[in-house]
Amino acid sequence: MLVPPTSLSETVRTGENVRRIRKMDGGMDGRFSLLPVAQTPLPPHPTRITSCGPSERELISSAITSRAPAPKKPRARAASCLHMVRPERTEERLDSDKGASVNVEQSACKKSPGWDSNSGTSRCKATVLGCVITSHTMLSYLTSGGCRLPFYLFAVVLPLVSPHNLNRHQHQEQGDKDRPKLLLVSFDGFRWDYIYRVPTPNFRSIMDEGVKVEFVENIYITKTYPNHYSMVTGLYAETHGVVANEMYDPALNLSFSMETDSVYDSRWWEQAVPLWVTVQKDGGRSGAAMWPGSDVLIHGVFPTRYLPYNASVSFEARVRSIIEWFSAPEGEAVDFGILYWEEPDESGHNLGPQSPLMDSIIAGIDEKLGFLLDELKKAGLYEKVNLVVTSDHGMAQLSPEKIIELDQYVDRDLYTWVDKSPVVGILPKEGKLDEVYAMLADANPNMVAYRKDDIPEHFHYQHNVRIMPILLEAKEGWTIMQNRTGLFMLGNHGYNNTLRDMQPVFVARGPAFRQNYIKASMRSVDLYPLMCHILAIQPLPNNGSLLNVRDLLSSEPTTSAPASAHFTPPPKVSRYSYAPVVGSFIGVVMVLGFLVVYVILVTLKQRPVLKHRSWEMSQPLLQEDLHL
Q: Which residues are catalytic?
A: 224
Biggest alpha carbon distance in the chain?
101
Question: Which ranges of 27-97 would DSSP assign to H, the alpha helix?
Answer: 54-63
Q: How far is CA 420 from CA 154, 423, 446, 482, 488, in A?
A: 62, 6, 16, 10, 11
3-state secondary structure of 152: helix
Q: State the DSSP H helix or E strand holding residue 378, giving kind and residue range, or none if neither.
A: helix 358-378
Positive or negative, the CA dihedral 573, 579, 582, 587 is: negative
199-215 residues labelled b (16+ CB within 10 A) or e (exposed) = ebebbebbbebbbbbee
Question: Alpha-carbon distance 242 to 272, whole Å?
Answer: 9
Positive or negative, the CA dihedral 292, 294, 295, 298 is: positive
Question: Alpha-carbon distance 438 to 427, whole Å?
Answer: 14
471-498 residues labelled b (16+ CB within 10 A) or e (exposed) = bbbbbbbbbbbeeeeeeeebbbbbbbbe
3-state secondary structure of 625: helix
| Cβ 551 vs Cβ 558: under 8 Å | yes
Q: What is the CA radius of gyration of the chain?
A: 31
Angle 403-488-226 from CA coordinates, rounded to 5°? 95
> For the packed helices 579-613 and 163-174, what is the interaxial angle rounded to 10 degrees?
150
